[in-house]
């Protein structure tokens, strides 16, 4: 077990509908929290390119997100860029569920 991992309460499972995303700020860092059919996922909160868009404003389509500024698409599950392979992948973080609550593990 990695003792550096610190679970942070995000909220209740029911706070987020399937197919949606919300921003979660922790220690002045943004995270984008996604709920899709296969569960909860988290990526870095701001996109990589110069626009640094909030990914909580992304469109969610299945397991893909579409950046609200540049329109690039990324996998919500792996963080990999889909539409433009020159784009760096998004950082992803583990999200766990316990007692109807969701936790970010960073």
Question: In the complex with ligand FES, which residue's Cβ is closer, 69 or 105?
Answer: 69
What separation in angstroms does the CA of 19 have from each of 22, 29, 62, 64, 71? 11, 23, 7, 10, 18
Q: Does 106 bind ligand FES (CB under 6 A)?
A: no
| Residue 54 DSSP one-character state | B
> Do 57 and 43 meet the contact criterion of CB atoms below 8 Å apart?
no
Q: Does 47 bind ligand FES (CB under 6 A)?
A: yes
Among 44, 69, 78, 96, binds ligand FES (CB under 6 A): 69
Binding site for ligand FES (CB under 6 A): 47, 49, 51, 53, 67, 69-70, 72
């Amino acid at each position: 077990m990695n003792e550096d991992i610190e679970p942070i309460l995000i909220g209740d499972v029911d706070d987020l509908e399937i197919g949606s995303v919300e921003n979660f700020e922790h220690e002045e860092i943004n995270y984008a929290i996604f709920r899709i059919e296969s569960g909860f996922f988290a990526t870095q909160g701001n996109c990589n390119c110069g626009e640094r868009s909030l990914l909580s404003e992304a469109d969610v389509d299945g397991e893909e997100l579409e950046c609200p500024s540049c329109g690039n698409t990324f996998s919500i599950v792996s963080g990999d860029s889909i539409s433009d392979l020159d784009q760096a992948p998004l950082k992803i973080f583990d999200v766990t569920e316990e007692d109807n609550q969701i936790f970010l593990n960073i």
